[in-house]
A and B are shown apart, each in its own frame.
Chain A
């Protein structure tokens, strides 16, 4: 279904999804194009517990193969107390290898985060609850505070999107606009920010809050990912629905992403290094139809028996 688009909108199509029976652990599927923008995605990570450290180790392993220069954090960066030692135990220690390698982290605030985290330099929030930054020549990130989306932030977002100038507009924030988990879609938030995403051509959105991985079928031409299991896990909580393109809730996970020219490639990886989803999103100059008529070759893997038992309708391809 074609839709009207705002100035600067670019078309997107998921051209491949994940079915990776042949992939061994720690196998990289990303293209490693020279001069590409490369980053990792973690959400709901700041527990300070063993699984967070294991994800940190896995990130370090993949960093050797896929030298990403930054990590985006989708919120709940520090659960519970935020004493100085908590910044160490829940952030600095789990990601020490990456921090030592000068990998930058760009955080957003979750509902478990004290907004004063914005003053913590390693989170690169520039002292602000919401901010934007550019990477490469053509990728701009919009980092929002979804816990407090007041009219001031909305006005700022519109201005930033309007003046962005980048073809790739990637937004990230804690609460997912679309989700099939326990919390569900944040429809209230969607009501106020989705119109701006559509008007100004946001291409890809990352969120956390739900403690699993889920790739949402493109909604009104926008690709949504939920990646909130880099520390927490709600096993069996993913309830596949008509929104679900792919998902994984059997273990902790994180994502790797590469943007090169007109192509964004992604790979979702479990704590043990297993690839649980992958694919490519194309940026096109043409007016799109929904998902450009290219059905994603998705198939869910790794779901718990409980989730799979209710999944007949979405495992249809």
Chain B
């Protein structure tokens, strides 16, 4: 009788210990999952180039907007090659998803999650390169499958769901900033140099004209 009581007590202790151990580990895991993103400014993760570059270009952009795609393909790619990669321009992406585009927020969340993994540049490029494919359906994974490996896509989606609150807040912060700065179309571009910020005409700019302006600013 005594022995069976001891046995039952031992089993109870083991069960309680197991439950407690499982609980503590689950709690710790949930703490890891819900821990905030590393303490880096979200805008910095969505930026290219050196922060100490003499010129900063901010682009309020919507991944589903055709004018943004056109601006990215014909102007920004060349700016990245010739000015960002040479340390002359710091390029900042600002999310400004327009309500008229049903999948632009989804794309922005995806790009922000990729930014947390340090893959903003490649995902931004892929989103614009394949805009025609995902834009009508919102099937971003299918459209980007040829460019981004499945494992990477999975990782990005994991970050997207784990950091959903921070990502949505980051997008909303950019949008609010745009509204405060009277952004009413995408792309809207701001150029800051020598302590002065100038908005460029909305809707995108030809590379040759932007180049002339950037070269002028660099000569100053």
Q: Do they bind each other?
A: no
